[in-house]
Amino acid sequence: MTLSRREGVDIRPTLLRVLTDLYVQASAHSADEERQFVELTTRLIDEVDDATRAAVRARLAIYTATPARIMDKLGLRRVGPDQPMPAAAPIPAPAPSALPAKIPTEAELRMAASLAMRPNDAAEISDMFFAASTTERAQILHNLQETPLKAAARIPAARAVRAIHILEMAAFAEDLDNFTLELGEALILPSRIAADVVNDPGGEPLACAMRALDVSSAAFQRILMFLNPEAGSSVNYVYRLSRLYDRLSERSALVMLAAWRGSTMAVARARYRSSLYDDERHRVRAASSQTRPALQPGSAPAVRNQKSGG
């Protein structure tokens, strides 16, 4: 909701889709969960485009635990007590428009598809992804494929091939340090973010990083099994991430890579803004505290030489 109030990228459609998808995954909710969902969704429904509203309406129309307020908001109704599933009301025919809709130009389409993230937005997206559960991360990556956020540029093929070879060798040797170092250099990530990606217990950040390098599915599975033998010995762990990797699009991985890069700029600004401000203030104080000496050089009266007789 904080991001949706800011200027720049409009993430309200993506936020509404994510909230709805996460809500319908559970068959029942507590009173607090329902209240929070109603409060957030009610604000967003009137502020999104028709396509997003229609998609959310379709998901909630077949969900048995849709809150009554949201049903009223979307024009849904229940047929009878023996049919608790809400049924969608007939969609009215659109009124004839006097003027034909304006077809966007090619330049406008390119601009709409390449909205860059600001550092604070990138930091919040990165933090939200790392804090999310396994199911939520998969849903976030799925929604990033359709978001208008600008993705990072592809890694040059020659650099990616070299990085993949080094990463596989480091994984076979169980060398986490060299693996993390090479990953950070190949993806242009600081060491802190690279370490978070490699050491994340869920494995989804590592899948994004490997997809950004265009690692093959077989090579990714080998890396999973050898890099961390304790996690790689789990069949469920390797199988779950392998399925995620096969469905993960390059665009979603590159958008997440752009968020990781942008988040470092937000951290740097927060770290140095106050110190630079204090330096300016201290510099002014130091300048104002200096006083001119009472006696300037050359202002003392000349001392006569008694022997000169002057």
Where along the chain do its domains lie?
1-88, 114-267
Q: Which tens digit of pLDDT belongs to each residue from 242-285?
A: 999 999 999 999 999 999 988 877 555 545 454 444 444 445 45
Task: Indicate whether this model's pTM tops 0.85.
Answer: no
DSSP of 155-211:
PPHHHHHHHHHHHHHHHHTT-HHHHHHHHHHHHT--HHHHHHHHH-SS-HHHHHHHH
Place of tokens 């990033």: 144
Q: Which H, E and C letters describe 250-284, residue by residue?
A: HHHHHHHHHHHHHHHHHHHHHHHHHHHHHHHHHHH
CB 223 within 8 A of CB 167: yes
Residues 227 and 170: their CA atoms lie apart, in Å, by 8
pLDDT digit string, tens, across residues 211-246: 999 999 999 999 999 999 888 888 899 999 999 999
CA distances from 105 to 10, 120, 203 (A): 20, 30, 41
What's phi and psi for 123, nearest 5 deg? -65, -40
